[in-house]
Amino acid sequence: MPPELPEVESVKRSLEEKLPSGTRWVEVILNRKDLRVPFPKDLRKKLVNSEVLGLERRAKYLIFKRKEKDLLSHLGMSGTWRELKAGETLKAHDHLIFGFDNGLRLAYNDPRRFGLVDWGGVDSPWLRELGPEPLSAAFNPAYLLQQMKGRKAAVKVLLMNAHLVVGIGNIYASEILFLAGVKPARPGSKITPTEAALIVKHTKAVLKKAIKAKGSTLKDYRMVNGDSGKFQNSFKVYSRGGEKCFSCGAAIRSEVLGQRSTYWCSRCQK
């Protein structure tokens, strides 16, 4: 599964601990020319001797703040930032290496190469059309109800639409809708004000809990130190097709919805 908001937020927080403001790049090694898009041609020239002023996250993007151009990183489907230990041998698919003046070395590894590293901050074309952050005040019941109005698409598909709200992927959309008691395939236009309030409430609660657990590791995702996330141990429905619902005992059902595997309880969710 691709990293979602809790995974990217966990990576950001771990990088913040290792890259205090003022840390300088001293090494940039490119082991290929591109990922999803080509690396900027001036990446090495512009980064070496420049300072990291901080880390931000917007949607599923990491932003390395700088005095000049900020640097964006998206993990794609399988990307990870990993701290290189002294004497550690590079792995297959370590496409980009950063070295810093505090001794930290980072490797960006991405077997499927759907990630990206490019110039740009919050006003970047990559970020310009995105919806509000789900943990912000802008994502509220009134906003969600307005966005659902007249929509025939399934509510789960709409929650995963980054133009509506960012960072909610397949895992968390399934978990949120279970807790809200809403069937994933229900058209957005059929969501009531009470249900919109429940969806917003559980969106914020689930994402906060997942961030505290350092995200979910099902396959590729790892934190900067190589550890796995733990939220997968708390799944109520996701990946539990055929198993009993923890709340009512009915079998968890699954189907492909919007080209993604979807899980729900037919008794708890209406």
- From the candidates 3, 6, 132, 184, which is the catalytic residue? 3
The Cα–Cα gap between 209 and 164 comes to 22
Q: Based on the residue annotation, tell me whether 20 is a catalytic residue of this protein.
A: no
Number of neighbours of residue 41 by Cβ within 10 angstroms: 9
Task: Choose, from 12, 60, 214, 240, the residue flagged as catalytic.
Answer: 60
CB 120 within 8 A of CB 70: yes
Is 187 part of the annotated catalytic residue set? Answer: no
b/e for 141-159, b at 16 or more Cβ within 10 A?
A: bebbbebbeebeebbbbbb
43, 50, 98, 176, 231 from 28: Cα distances, Å:
8, 11, 5, 40, 33
- Give me the phi and psi of 170, to 5 degrees please: -65, -45
Do 251 and 236 touch, CB atoms closer than 8 A? no
Which tokens hold the place of 5? 């908001």
Q: Which of 46, 65, 186, 260 is catalytic?
A: 260
Q: Report the SS3 class of residue 118.
A: strand
Rounded Cα distance, 154 and 172, in Å: 15
For tokens 């992927």, the residue is: 169
Q: Is 3 a catalytic residue?
A: yes
Buried b (16+ CB within 10 A) or exposed e, 82-104: bbbeeeeeeeebbbbbbbbeeee
Annotated active-site residue in 2, 4, 12, 240: 4
Mark whether 214 is an active-site residue. Answer: no
Active-site positions read 3-4, 60, 260
